[in-house]
Amino acid sequence: METPPIIKGKVETPVVKTKETALSERGLSEIKSTAKNELYATYELDHNAPYIAEMFGIDKVWNEPGLAYKKEVQAIDAHLKIEIQNKELENTTNAVREYVEQMERLAGVSKTAPVEIKMKALASFAAHMSRLNSIQRGKSW
């Protein structure tokens, strides 16, 4: 590596061009990635699939008639939206991802479990949590 040039007694730090700096120099935003933090409540409208489906890699098949994912995705999604509405959960995809990971741990779901098992366990756990939250808020279930 060559030594940076010295200009009037100062060392000039070389600028390393990356994709991000090149895009920002041209005024362009970075290409959308899955790590982008978006509003959870409007995610399905923006992406044509619920965030939960995308999170588990079933966004192309989550509502296929032969698969049992639709009911599970809807149950998990409904629980998350209630938590957001009740201000128990931040309305961002990052917050939802962290919350779902906590749900997986509490439900005893292994990280290596098949998606079918994860979805069923999370849907059951979400329904259970929703019932408990309704009781705590004084509503019957």
Distance CA 6, CA 30 (A): 33
**How many domains are contained in the chain?**
1
Written as six digits, the tokens of 88 are 């128990």
pLDDT at 34: 43
For residues 118, 123, 97, 103, the Cα torsion angle rounded to the nearest 10 degrees is: -80
The boundaries of the domain holding residue 59 are 34-136
Is residue 52, in this structure, part of any structural domain at all? yes
Distance CA 94, CA 35 (A): 8
pLDDT at 68: 74
Is residue 19, in this structure, part of any structural domain at all? no
pLDDT tens for each residue of the chain, 141 residues long: 455 554 455 444 444 444 444 434 434 333 333 457 899 999 999 999 999 999 999 999 988 887 779 999 999 999 999 999 988 899 999 999 999 999 999 999 998 999 999 999 999 999 998 888 888 877 655
